[in-house]
Amino acid sequence: MSEASEEPRPATAAETPRPQKPVPPPRELPAVEAIAGWIQGAELPTLAALFDQLVVAKFDALVMQIRKEELLPQHWQVISQRAIPDESAFERLPQVTRLRERYADQALAERRLAALKAAWIELGGKHPSLWTVPDLFAALRRIIDRKLPVDFYDLLSAVRDVWAGQQLPQAKEQLEILWACLAFIRGKTKK
């Protein structure tokens, strides 16, 4: 056979290299001790990694596991409908005024209040000082489901700061429940 008559044979499907899926870089997840410090007021930007890239099905599975551990009430359920509140009412809420005074950095205040406002809208205008952890999770679920551009860290921190600024026992209890839930989620989240 001459070299001119030899044609390269096409590769078979088994021989064709498959394109590799890009491997996302490992997420930096906070330690449980760091979450406890965050509950007390420390900054912990890696906390957002617990909710970043979550789809609704995965979020629902996490919440179901949290419910099985009895960290959330068994009657917790997804909000199916909500009334759209008058957005101008948000700025008049006493919690919003207190948060603006609390945050010395105006850019930080605007980011956190924007995240809080998105959750407030998803909860139909319920006052943030009256929220419970199940309310927060219901808002998170709607935000994830609707793919809203909300910074989870800013939202969690704003809610923490609303509860920390209250003297009511219910607010302290909600901070403890939030810490337990976040620590549980951290234990179930892989890098």
Mean pLDDT of the region 137-162: 95
Binning pLDDT at 50, 70 and 90, where does residue 11 land? low
Task: Look up residue 4 and give its two tokens.
Answer: 């001119």
**Higher pLDDT residue, 124 or 13?**
124
Give CA separation, 47 vs 29, 123, 155, in Å. Answer: 7, 22, 11
pTM of the model: 0.81
Over residues 93-98, mean pLDDT: 93
Six token digits for residue 93: 């809420």
- Asked whether residue 77 carries a pLDDT value surpassing 60, the answer given is no
Judging by beta carbons within 10 Å of its beta carbon (0-12, 13-18, 19+), is residue 133 exposed, middle or buried? buried
Residue 23, token pair as written in the block: 């491997």
